[in-house]
Structure 1
Amino acid sequence: MDLHYEVQGKGEAVVLIHNAMADLRDWELIAPQLAQTYQVITFDGRGAGQSPPLLKPAHYVEDLRQLLDHLNLDRVILVGHSIGGQIATDFALAYPDRVTRLVLVAPGLSGFQFSPDVQQWYAQINAVAPDLEKMVEVLLNHPVYSVVMSSPQRDRIIEMTTHNMKRSFEWKTYEMLWAQPPTIDRLSELQTKTLFIIGKKDMPDLFKVAELFQQVPDIHFAYLEGADHMPTFTHADEVSSRIVQFLSQ
């Protein structure tokens, strides 16, 4: 296994999948809390943290499968944040017998088309490349990060984002392989019991994603007051307690 990973705690296995332009530090305030009850696995996705760069199109679902096989984990709880939630959902549809519960924190969704505003934001980031400092500034100055950037976790998010934006310069491709047919057309097939967590100050697009997830037969929603796209940093205690409560039901 060439991906960097860490394991802490004992019990039922919980695998945490991080946000884009992040790494396993996305969970450093949450993993120790979950590890009091569960075996918690965090890892750096390909191209992030201490894992190898992307040299061919990313297949994050298969990377996750290989990690679980390497750790001899047949059945796990998956917790995914943003693109990590997109990976977790795709995985749960591809390998339903391997996922016992699903927790999605402000997840992406395969096949979802982002609004022109979000696409323009991405274009603005690319327009200032390869100036690393400006790219991070444009990314984190977006309203979706307004809470975390005015919080005590400001330095934490800047450091992690800068590290992983710099890592992206090593990539040979930015192509990513997602579920086909797209998960957006298959949400009603998702049989895994699911918890969907989102901050009330997150982007409008992700509330549209939340509406789409209402098709999932067994899903519960939690809306966090005063949280933006990074509740893993600013509302770690609440996210942890919501997860534990959901898993203990």
Structure 2
Amino acid sequence: MTITHEVAGSGPAVVLLHSSVCDRRMWDGQWDALREAGYRVLRCDFRGFGETPCADRPYDNLTDLAELLDGLGIERAALVGSSFGGRIALQFAALHPGRVGSLTLFCPGSPDHRPSAELEALDDLEVDLVESGRLDEAVELMVRTWLGPDADEATRAKVRVMQRNAYEVQLAPETEISPTRVEVDLRAAVAPTLVYSGAHDLDDFRRIAADLAALLPDAEHRELPWAGHLPPLERPAETAELLLTRLAEVAGR
């Protein structure tokens, strides 16, 4: 199955990978800016998000991404990931270093991170709310947790729609099939990497950003003083400028 995706523009490829709170629509605020700047831009919905249904057989997101790029004839790309999408970008870059020109990560997750008691409690509460059918409460929990103070009401409404859709898509199958775990050594991700954290984010993700900058061979960490966990949604235009500046910097190396 080919996961749902959109492609626009021409030029060097830039791939946008979404958070697990959202889907590919989270990149609306950067899509046109990247395309108009001369990039071929790709965004997709992982399985169980947006318009991509859940899997009906074993799968892993890294293979899905590789097959999507192969099908579009994209041999090498700049990867941009938010949260869960950042984790996928990292793992992909470690498995396929020759295919990744750069990594730009906004508050990424990491397979090597041990969650704090705070994060585990949050996950447990979300699961309890979803399994008991209290989806509206689960959605509001996610909106409160993951959006920083600069997110306006329109942004909060957009996240509500994306998160509610994800719950409904993931609850539809009778049998849940989780992605296959793929073991990777993140130190093999040799592409130039810029990791952003948000000053208003959970401490787990601020630590992940700092740890990745220390671990990866060619990485830098910058904290955004205004950001929560989802900078591309909280300040879309500013995030677009950050991306364009970063892509230009890497191209100029």
Aligned to 2:209: 210
- Counterpart contact for 2:91–2:186, Cα < 8 Å: no
Give the TM-score normalised by the residue count of structure 1: 0.91
Contact map agreement 2:2 2:64 (CA 8 A) in 1: no
Percent sequence identity over aligned pairs: 27
Residues 1:219 and 2:219 are matched in the alignment: yes
Range with greater deviation from structure 2 (150-159 or 29-38): 150-159
Q: Which residue is equivalent to 1:239?
A: 239
Give the 3 Å change call, closer, same or farther, for CA 149–122 of structure 1 in structure 2: farther
Match among 121, 129, 134 for residue 131 of structure 1: 134
Question: Could you list the per-position Cα deviations for residues 153-207 of structure 1 after superposition, in whole angstroms to 9, with x for gaps in the alignment?
Answer: 12111111111121111243252333315xxxx3433211111122211110011
Where do 1:52-201 residues align within 5 Å? Answer: 52-129=53-130, 130-142=133-145, 144-147=146-149, 151-171=153-173, 172-173=175-176, 175-181=178-184, 186-201=185-200
Number of aligned residues: 244
Q: CA RMSD in A?
A: 1.7
Q: How far apart, in 2, do the equivalents of 1:169 and 1:50 lie?
A: 14
Q: Distance in 1 between matches of 2:64 and 2:98?
A: 17
Unpaired runs of at least 5, structure 2: none
Query: 2: distance between equivalents of 1:35 and 1:150?
Result: 25
Q: Which residue of 1 aligns with 2:49?
A: 48
TM-score norm. by structure 2 comes to: 0.90
Cα distance between partner residues in 2 of 1:229 and 1:151: 16
Counterpart amino acid of residue 210 in structure 2: E
Deviation at 1:56, TM superposition (A): 3.6
Unpaired stretches in structure 1, ≥5 consecutive residues: none
Counterpart mapping for 1:3-22 below 5 A:
3-22=3-22
